[in-house]
Structure 1
Amino acid sequence: MSEAKLAAGQQKTVRTPRDVRRFWRVLLAVVAPVPMLFMGIYYLVSPVDGDAPFATSVAAITADSGRFEAMQWLQVPFFLLIPAMFAAAWVSRRTAPRLATIGGLLSVGGMSAGFFLLDGVVTLEYLTARQGFDAGTMERLSDAFEEQATIQVGGLLFISAVTIGLLLLGIALWRSKVAPAWMGIALAFGGFTHPFMPGHLAAGLGLVVAAIGFAGASYALLRSSDDNFDLPPLER
């Protein structure tokens, strides 16, 4: 075999994968404020508080079932809260690494557990009103669900993610200086105060404030270069 053929056989084809960092950066920027914004609107259009008695909720749904059906769809984008939390942690990770890491673990972990263990957007109150089920029986069923240990753990982790997790992510966003300080404060305030807001209107406004805070992550992502966002793809 000639030296030229030997050299040609030893050559390797080097290919660089397509760089999709900009796609992920922009996608996270678009997603970040969406879940809290839609959930804030949900609370604002709801005629009852989130902790209203079972019978009160059934009566409200019976009186205006169309509104509550639309409210179910407003809750659908809430599953995007996990990537939104990841976005807030990601943009803060380099200048506030410990806060971003702890806040990210608490928020993403707690929210994942909550989504898995808690009930979905179709509530027992809604089914009672729409299907004509016996309200007393369904209320006992609701109470039985709430007494289950897995549901209680899921609720605790969910609340911890919204309060403590978002509080830490907001502080991390503020201290990282990748977005205006007031946006990090909005995220911390909107998440931490949510369980303590009196009534559905105040709760809705608080979540809209949190959505504005998440927009701080969008701001940071859109201003970032691809190189600051992540490492480039490797040759193969």
Structure 2
Amino acid sequence: MSETLTPPPSSGAPAAVPVAVATRRDLRRTWRILAAIVIPLGPLAVTFMRWVMPYWTDQTTDEAVPIMADNLGGMAALNWLALLGYPFMLLGALALGFALRRRVPVLATIGSGVLFMAYALGAMVGSSDVVAEAMLRAGYDDATVVDVSTLVMDHPTGLVGILAFVFGHLLGLILLGIAVARSGLVHWWVGVLIVVAQPVHVISAVLVPSRALDVIGGWGATTLGFAIVALAVLRTSDDEWDAPPLPREEEQAY
């Protein structure tokens, strides 16, 4: 009986190169917690801004400036809240879109994108408040402050920024509210609450001026809706939140 012998491997054949798989740090839990924190902080900041602002949004500049002059402390609080709140408004818009992206990708992308851009351009809205407070503290008379504030707001970039903010944040929040209602992440009524809060905000800001209605039923309701979504994000598993990090392959030669 014959046997087939397998020749030994040639000494010149290349040696096998083992591959060591190194894992990257999994930060999904950290990102999820941070997202849950920033989601409600933006609308919460706006709620406090609407509460402390000395004037109201249905008033003309001629009417608002004397009120500002009598309450510079309120103007300072408004401007500091804007400074601290705007970063969280921007981050919260993106974080909410990220939280909804796997459930309602189109609505989440468009809604968060529109809201982010509206908030970014909203810096033009607050600039006139800073100008007015600075000039009043420097001792300028009301008429001069009115003229300069009007020039700032009527400048083409200021006008475009203000209009983009006003219409953009309303549209973005309505789209995100619809996304929340359809996502299944929370009960549908949470999304409806966010949607309904926007016309309430418009009504209380201009049509039937009411600080209490806006603080409670407008931005207050928006904050509540965002906070409920944030709690749902905290309860979401890491695997549902995002895919795990990819392994890092490192070749190690003998």
Q: TM-score range by the shorter chain?
A: 0.7 to 0.9
2:158 match = 151
Distance 1:202-1:121 versus aligned 2 partners, 3 A rule: farther
1:201 equivalent among 201, 204, 212: 212
Are the aligned partners of 1:36 and 1:211 in contact in 2 as well (CA < 8 Å)? Answer: yes
Question: What is the CA distance between 1:118 and its match in structure 2?
Answer: 4.4
Aligned mates of 2:44, 2:96 — CA distance in 1: 15
1:108 match = 116
Aligned mates of 2:128, 2:223 — CA distance in 1: 20
Aligned mates of 2:211, 2:130 — CA distance in 1: 17
Kindly indicate whether residue 231 of structure 2 is the aligned counterpart of residue 222 of structure 1. Answer: no
Q: Greater shift after overlay, 74-83 or 217-226?
A: 74-83
Question: What is the CA distance between 1:34 and its match in structure 2?
Answer: 1.2
Q: Greater shift after overlay, 106-115 or 205-214?
A: 106-115
Are the aligned partners of 2:28 and 2:238 in contact in 1 as well (CA < 8 Å)? Answer: yes
Are the aligned partners of 2:79 and 2:126 in contact in 1 as well (CA < 8 Å)? Answer: no
Aligned mates of 1:159, 1:71 — CA distance in 2: 18
Are the aligned partners of 1:18 and 1:233 in contact in 2 as well (CA < 8 Å)? Answer: yes
2:251 match = none
Give the 3-state SS of the residue equivalent to 1:73 in structure 2.
helix
| Superimposed CA distance per residue, residues 136-184 of structure 1 (whole angstroms, 9 cap, x where no aligned partner) | 2221121112222221221122122221110010011011120122221
1:58 match = 65
Unaligned runs of 5+ in 1: none
Are the aligned partners of 1:110 and 1:157 in contact in 2 as well (CA < 8 Å)? Answer: yes
1:124 equivalent among 121, 127, 131: 131
The structure whose Rg is larger is 2
Are the aligned partners of 2:93 and 2:115 in contact in 1 as well (CA < 8 Å)? Answer: yes
Distance 1:228-1:33 versus aligned 2 partners, 3 A rule: same
Give the 3-state SS of the residue equivalent to 2:21 in structure 1.
coil
Letter in 1 for 2:107: L
Kindly indicate whether residue 101 of structure 2 is the aligned counterpart of residue 90 of structure 1. Answer: no
Question: What is the CA distance between 1:192 and its match in structure 2?
Answer: 4.3
Aligned length: 233
Letter in 2 for 1:50: T
Kindly indicate whether residue 224 of structure 2 is the aligned counterpart of residue 212 of structure 1. Answer: yes
Are the aligned partners of 2:114 and 2:171 in contact in 1 as well (CA < 8 Å)? Answer: yes
Question: What is the CA distance between 1:55 and its match in structure 2?
Answer: 4.3
1:6 match = 15
Distance 1:154-1:80 versus aligned 2 partners, 3 A rule: same
Question: What is the CA distance between 1:91 and its match in structure 2?
Answer: 2.4
Are the aligned partners of 2:61 and 2:150 in contact in 1 as well (CA < 8 Å)? Answer: no
Question: What is the CA distance between 1:213 and its match in structure 2?
Answer: 1.2
| Superimposed CA distance per residue, residues 66-101 of structure 1 (whole angstroms, 9 cap, x where no aligned partner) | 233223222222321122122222222223222222
Unaligned runs of 5+ in 2: 1-9, 249-254
Aligned mates of 2:87, 2:211 — CA distance in 1: 20
Question: What is the CA distance between 1:222 and its match in structure 2?
Answer: 0.9
Q: Greater shift after overlay, 173-182 or 123-132?
A: 123-132
Distance 1:2-1:81 versus aligned 2 partners, 3 A rule: farther
TM-score, scaled relative to structure 1: 0.86
Letter in 2 for 1:82: L
Are the aligned partners of 1:173 and 1:181 in contact in 2 as well (CA < 8 Å)? Answer: yes
Aligned mates of 1:2, 1:21 — CA distance in 2: 48
1:80 match = 88
Task: List structure 1 segments (4+ residues) > 6 angstroms apart after TM superposition.
Answer: none
Aligned mates of 2:78, 2:229 — CA distance in 1: 26
